[in-house]
Amino acid sequence: MLSVVLRQAPGFRFYFVLSDGKGDYGGGLREDGSLFCDPACPYKELMLRTLINKCMNDFVPSVTAGGDWGADLTRFGFVREEGSFRAAWEQLRLPHDCEGR
């Protein structure tokens, strides 16, 4: 069973810990506005959806992300800018597609 719990972590506006019974994987929004996910996390898209949902609910004005999420970030409203991806609050979205899954 998967669980996602909000925790506090230094250097993060918010931070979640995703547990699957075998391991714990962190992810959050850094103080600089960039999204982070533990590289070993096998559920990166789930963490991405969790973080984007929190950003949308908290009206975070702008978010950046690297391309290491294993998902097409443009589906979530991000635009490629200078080697990374950026989205303003009004651009963020949670796609409801299954794209071959």
Structure tokens at 60: 């975070």
pTM for the complete prediction? Answer: 0.91
Q: Which residue has the higher pLDDT, 97 or 60?
A: 60
Q: Residues 69-89: pLDDT tens digits?
A: 999 999 999 999 988 999 999
Mean pLDDT, residues 49-55 taken together: 97
Residue 46 has pLDDT above 90, yes or no: yes
Mean pLDDT for 9-33 is 98
At position 100, the amino acid (one-letter code) is: G
Residues 30 and 8: their CA atoms lie apart, in Å, by: 11
For residue 26, the Cα-to-chain-centroid distance in whole angstroms is 10
- Domain ranges for the chain, please list them: 3-91
Q: Is pLDDT above 90 for 25?
A: yes
Q: Are 47 and 25 in contact (CB under 8 A)?
A: yes
CATH code for the domain defined by 3-91: 3.40.630.30
